[in-house]
Structure 1
Amino acid sequence: MNESTPSRRVALFVTCLVDLMRPRIGFAAIRALEAAGCEVIVPEGQTCCGQPALNSGDRDHAAALARRTIEALEGYDHIVIPSGSCAGTIRCHYPEILADDAHWLPRAQAVAERTWEIMAFLDEVCGWRPEAARCEGHATYHDSCSGLRELGVKAQPRRLLKAVEGLTLTPLAGEETCCGFGGTFCVKYPAISNAIVAEKAAAIEATGAGLLLAGDLGCLMNMAGKLHRDGSKVRAFHAIELIAGMGDGPAIGEDA
């Protein structure tokens, strides 16, 4: 960053899964954002974005969580999230949830307009590349449904990963197909979810890659769990971990 360029004041929305299951993704996000010249704040008061309630049809609780989240995230230049599904909830669905509330709708719209999935933010807003990142390995990449379809996150992570020295990226057959997680879907319909992730695991193995990358921890936990149950040696990481130079630690499931 040029010394004359003002620092972007960024609120990091960590997400429930990252906070509870894989905090190193949050630390990787901070490292990458700071390397891109951002001042990073993790606002107190953030909890769930309300996505599970929204997906289950509980709009009242989803709206209550949306209001709480908006209050926590107002006042920052940008809100950045290491999850396409949570970012999609805030950016695309908060204005819908609060559409009939004259007080909260403009606040929801203002927060939504400043909300970004982290790899799209680093690529599109910051124009940053991970010059110091290195990972000797062969990887494949899965596109999460929400990030891809709601936010258009597709080329951005691949451009960032291309700059990681030593990393080879092989296309995944059906890379845009759901992995079967779907938040509460995998709980409500476990047999269907398992059938979907079985096809995904087979496609991952067929690439010959030793690393599986994606931008949503829920998807990664689902795919990594299936690969582990099948005896696969493929190791799963959130893409931001490699981009931030933190790909040498335990893979998802290995630090449980």
Structure 2
Amino acid sequence: MRVALFSTCIGDALFPDAHKASALVLSRLGYEVVFPEGQTCCGQMHINTGYQEQAVPIIESYVDAFSDPSIDYVIVPSGSCTGAVREQHVRIADRYGSKALADGAEQTAKKTYDLSEFIVDVAGTYDVGAFFPHRVTYHSSCHSRRFIKVGERPKDLLRAVEGLELVDLPNEEECCGFGGTFAVKMSEVSAAMVSDKARHIKETKAEYVTAGDSSCLMNIAGAMSRQHNGVRALHMAEILASTKENPWTPTKAAYSKEKML
């Protein structure tokens, strides 16, 4: 079976390790992984800030990149981008684009899956052969929790990782405060929210905090760095990619203070 990896703009520009890890996990599960070079952005930032008509060319790019019938599924290591494709593309294409674009967006949306959804629902497994002997807590991002409703899938995948101790995060359901442009427009509110999130993470005594969205991890890592709490942020795909034979070694500055500046 042939799957395409949608890297997302923030992943491509800032956090490629998470997407390399996703490709590695999918390959380990027996899938042929391809990377259409025409892919760009999901358009979520434009749509959420009111520039809906301007998002039409971005939706066209997504449809062009992933409508190839030889691609069985599109895998996204980001709940927020998965949500944009599945919940926004058809509506915006229908409102500002054309019927042909809306039809194409509907087809690509149907085969677009968050990484955790795909592993559990399509690959039909929780155990991907991962080994990560560390204490970890999980942040449930707003879009993955409320928009696409991944439920317990990410945590079930983490529980199946050999050597990993998963600890509950207090107030897990609370937002980290990023929200794309929300963090810019409402910076003081955002800073207070992520400060609370970082404090709760510290309370778990975890070595790592993980999530399915690099944007949330970027925001959280910045707050943890300012609080000097010693916890590292790591995308869930990187944990799933790690094995006894080949332990995953993330880029040192992946979600560090230096990356935030």
Task: Give the TM-score, by structure 2 length.
Answer: 0.92
d(CA) in 1 for partners of 2:57, 2:34: 23
d(CA) in 2 for partners of 1:230, 1:255: 15
d(CA) in 2 for partners of 1:131, 1:148: 22
d(CA) in 2 for partners of 1:237, 1:131: 17
Give the one of 227, 230, 248 matched to 1:230.
Answer: 227
Name the SS for the 1:134 alignment partner.
coil
d(CA) in 2 for partners of 1:254, 1:226: 9
Deviates more, 1:233-242 or 1:129-138: 129-138
Give the one of 20, 25, 32 matched to 2:13.
Answer: 20
Give 1:129 deviation, angstroms: 3.7
d(CA) in 1 for partners of 2:257, 2:134: 18
* 1:4 corresponds to: none
Give the one of 195, 199, 207 matched to 2:196.
Answer: 199
Name the SS for the 1:165 alignment partner.
coil
* 1:97 corresponds to: 92
* 1:3 corresponds to: none
Name the SS for the 2:32 alignment partner.
strand
d(CA) in 2 for partners of 1:255, 1:36: 34
Name the SS for the 1:48 alignment partner.
coil
1:1-256 to 2 correspondences below 5 Å: 8-75=1-68, 76-100=71-95, 101-245=98-242, 247-249=248-250, 250=252, 252-253=255-256, 256=259
User: Tell me, which stretches of 5 or more residues in structure 2 are unaligned?
Assistant: none
d(CA) in 1 for partners of 2:158, 2:9: 25
d(CA) in 2 for partners of 1:157, 1:22: 19
Give 1:248 deviation, angstroms: 3.7
| Sequence identity percentage | 39
Name the SS for the 2:164 alignment partner.
strand
Give 1:229 deviation, angstroms: 0.6
- 1:27-68 CA-to-partner distances (Å, cap 9, x unmatched) read 100000111111111101111111111111001111221111
Q: Is the 8 A contact 2:141 2:213 kept in 1?
A: yes
Name the SS for the 1:180 alignment partner.
coil
User: Tell me, which stretches of 5 or more residues in structure 1 are unaligned?
Assistant: 1-7
Moved over 6 A (4+): none
d(CA) in 2 for partners of 1:177, 1:238: 19
Alpha-carbon spacing, 1:129–1:35, altered in 2? closer, same or farther (3 Å): farther
- 1:161-182 CA-to-partner distances (Å, cap 9, x unmatched) read 1121111001111112110000
d(CA) in 2 for partners of 1:99, 1:176: 33
- 1:134-157 CA-to-partner distances (Å, cap 9, x unmatched) read 111111001111111111112111
Task: Give the TM-score, by structure 1 length.
Answer: 0.93
d(CA) in 2 for partners of 1:27, 1:130: 19
Name the SS for the 2:177 alignment partner.
coil
